[in-house]
Structure 1
Amino acid sequence: MTSLVHPRVSVDPAVCGGRPVNAGTRVRVSDVLDMLADGASIAEIVADFPYMSAQDVAAALAFAARNADHPVVTVAG
């Protein structure tokens, strides 16, 4: 069963081991982040994966940013 967890990002246990992917593809969010971290531009990613759009890349970034955030932990004094 596929679950849309963010616009254009889905999770399905039957696809890529349940890792978040751009919806309708097998391109994992982590793959998009790795490509960007290695210096690929959005245009290069879209050229390499023509079934993806610049909006898909932006959605992967937004999903990752939302999931990287965490509550601030303070020590009771």
Structure 2
Amino acid sequence: MPKLDYRNIEKAPDRCGGRATIAGTRIRVCTILTCYRQGMTIEEIVQQYPHLRPVHIQDALAYAYDHPDEIEADLAADDEAVVQLRI
């Protein structure tokens, strides 16, 4: 299967702990996936983040679909961080 090009997704060690983000932002792919899983449409996500375009959301969702282990690990790390804050 050919490798897909996620033009609007980047991973930089100095941004968001190296997690996948929308290029040029600090908005993580796992954040977009969470919005989508909560029932938001692409249009609603763009309304929530007006500096993004639908193509950014589509690329984030495609990246999440193609890298499920990575994104689920990011979500699990977020959950663990919340638990630690409550202690």
TM-score band, normalised by the shorter chain? 0.7 to 0.9
Q: Give the number of the structure whose residues are more often helix, by fraction.
A: 2
Matches of 1:35 and 1:19, distance apart in 2: 17
| Identical pairs, percent | 35
Cα RMSD of the aligned pairs, angstroms, is 1.6
Correspondence for 1:51: 51
1:56-75 matched pairs, under 5 angstroms: 56-68=56-68
- Displacement of 1:12: 0.6
Runs (4 or more) in structure 1 with deviation over 3 Å come to none
Of the two, which has the highest radius of gyration?
Answer: 1
TM-score (norm. length: structure 2): 0.69
Q: How many residues align?
A: 65
TM-score (norm. length: structure 1): 0.77
- Displacement of 1:48: 1.1
Q: Give the number of the structure whose residues are more often strand, by fraction.
A: 1
